[in-house]
């Protein structure tokens, strides 16, 4: 799922002003801002419960529980109702659920100069600016998502369960590096959400964070020590995605992308 947020979710201005422009601007931000964060949490929370229930059902079957015994429980009525107002049965909770695999948010950042009546501003200058910023924000977010996807493939090699021993990889040094990578990615995400990713100061900060990611990944051995599992391919994916991301934000900072967008308007 890809969500383009047309209203800033975070405020850049500090200290917060209480003049009319700020109050009116904030009012529209609250009314129209993205409110799907909680929906995403609930969807993932319910999915976890469904997965847990299915595993417990399988465990019961493997340990001798009969189909009749399991169905006796699943056929009972729950307390929730469906969209038609009918009371659900427990078995209905275990089917028909979608799995929210990935949510990508493209944030519109607060530039600290917006005015209260911006909702009525359809001038050509404003529309061109929003198109330019939206294009650049989308591209930088997509490139960052490529790093995240590559990182998840790398991380899966460390958290993959050993079916025989039911243990995770015990190479503490590499596990620590995985945590460092997650922290760097989170910091970059916060920067793209709050700060203006088109200015040179933010670009320098982001470049340093991406360089840190490349350095951490490059220092990891090509084979995991515990089970000699190769990770060279996953390392290459992360590094290549990071380099592509750097190229994109540098082009944005140098206004090359902005110029291209304006030519399309």
* Tens of pLDDT, residues 48-73: 999 999 999 999 999 999 999 999 99
Are the C-beta atoms of 149 and 185 separated by less than 8 Å?
A: no
Question: Which whole number is the average pLDDT over 171-199?
Answer: 81
Per DSSP, helices labelled H in the chain are 20-32, 36-62, 67-74, 124-159, 172-194, 200-218, 232-253, 256-264
> Comparing C-alpha atoms, which of 214, 222, 200 is closest to residue 243?
214
Residues 6+ apart with CB under 8 A from 145: 104
Are the C-beta atoms of 193 and 9 separated by less than 8 Å?
A: yes
Sign of CA dihedral 149, 154, 158, 163: positive
pLDDT tens, position by position, 68-100: 999 999 999 999 888 889 999 999 888 867 788
Q: Structure pTM?
A: 0.75
Are the C-beta atoms of 139 and 252 separated by less than 8 Å?
A: yes
pLDDT tens, position by position, 97-155: 778 888 898 888 777 667 777 788 888 888 888 888 888 889 989 999 999 999 999 99
Torsion of CA 172, 174, 180, 186, to 10 degrees: -110
The distance from CA 119 to its chain's CA centroid, rounded to whole angstroms, is 28
């Amino acid at each position: 799922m890809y969500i383009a947020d047309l209203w800033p979710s975070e405020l850049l201005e500090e200290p917060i002003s209480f003049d009319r422009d700020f109050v009116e601007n904030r009012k529209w931000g609250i009314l129209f801002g993205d409110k799907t964060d909680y929906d995403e949490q609930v969807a993932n929370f319910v999915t976890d419960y469904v997965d847990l229930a299915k595993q417990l059902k399988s465990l019961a079957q493997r340990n001798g529980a009969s189909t009749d015994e399991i169905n006796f429980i699943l056929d009972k009525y729950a307390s929730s109702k469906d969209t038609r107002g009918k009371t659900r049965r427990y078995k209905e909770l275990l089917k028909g659920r979608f799995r929210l695999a990935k949510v990508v948010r493209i944030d519109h950042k607060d530039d600290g100069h917006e005015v209260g009546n911006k909702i009525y501003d359809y001038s050509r200058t404003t529309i061109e600016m929003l198109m330019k910023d939206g294009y650049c924000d989308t591209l930088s977010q997509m490139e960052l998502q490529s790093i995240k996807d590559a990182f998840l493939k790398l991380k899966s090699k460390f958290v993959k369960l050993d079916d025989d021993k039911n243990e995770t990889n015990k190479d503490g040094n590499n596990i620590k590096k995985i945590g460092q990578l997650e922290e760097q990615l989170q910091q970059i995400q916060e920067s793209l959400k709050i700060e203006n990713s088109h200015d040179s100061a933010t670009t320098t900060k982001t470049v340093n964070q991406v360089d840190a990611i490349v350095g951490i990944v490059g220092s990891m051995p090509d084979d995991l020590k515990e089970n000699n599992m190769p990770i060279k391919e996953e390392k290459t994916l992360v590094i290549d995605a990071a380099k592509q991301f750097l190229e994109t934000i540098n082009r944005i900072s140098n206004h090359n992308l902005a110029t291209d967008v304006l030519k399309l308007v």
